[in-house]
Amino acid sequence: MEHWKVSSSDYGIVITCRGHDKVVTVRASVADFDALATEHVGTFTIIADLREMTGYQTESRQAWQTTFAKHRDKVQGLILVGAKSPLIRMGAAAVGAYAGIPVRFVATWSEVARASMVKN
C-alpha cells in the first residue's frame, strides 16, 4: 500500500497520506515535495489530503515541518483536507507554526477551491 503521494495540481502541491505516517515511508515523499517546491516558479499552496490518515510518528512530522520551513518564502499556506482526528489536527497545526506558514482546515475537496489562499 502506498502511504504517500506527492503531485502538482492547479491548486499547488498536493500531498496525500493514507494510513499511519511512519518515518520509514515518508522520506521519499519529503524528497519528492522538496524537488517539486524547488522547481516551482513563484508562490504555491500546499494541500495535504489527510482524509485517510490514521496517525503519525513525531519524526515524520519533523521531516515535513523542516522541509516546509525550507520553502516558506514560496508557500502561501497549508490547506489540510479532512483532518478529523484531534491529534492529527494538532500535529498539522504544529507543522504550519514551525514552518511559519498559515494553516487552514477544510472538510472536503470542494472547499479547497474556495480557500482564500489558493491563487496559483
Within 10 A of 9 (CB to CB), how many other CB atoms are there?
Answer: 12
* CATH number of the domain where residue 36 is located: 3.30.750.24
Per the structure, the count of domains in the chain is 1
Q: Which of 78, 68, 16 is nearest to 46 (CA)?
A: 78
Instruction: Report if residue 85 sits inside a domain.
Output: yes
Instruction: Report if residue 27 sits inside a domain.
Output: yes
Q: Tell me the C-alpha to C-alpha distance, in Å, between residue 1 and each of 4, 5, 33, 60, 101.
A: 9, 11, 19, 18, 30
Report the predicted TM-score, pTM, of the whole model to 2 decimal places: 0.89
Instruction: Report if residue 118 sits inside a domain.
Output: no
pLDDT of residue 118: 46
Q: Rounded distance, CA 56 to CA 115, Å?
A: 25
Domain boundaries, position 68: 4-112
Going residue by residue through the chain, which has 120 residues, state the pLDDT in tens, using 9 for 90 and above: 457 899 998 889 999 988 877 767 788 899 999 999 999 999 999 999 999 888 888 888 899 999 999 999 999 999 999 988 898 889 888 999 999 999 999 999 889 887 755 454
pLDDT of residue 117: 55
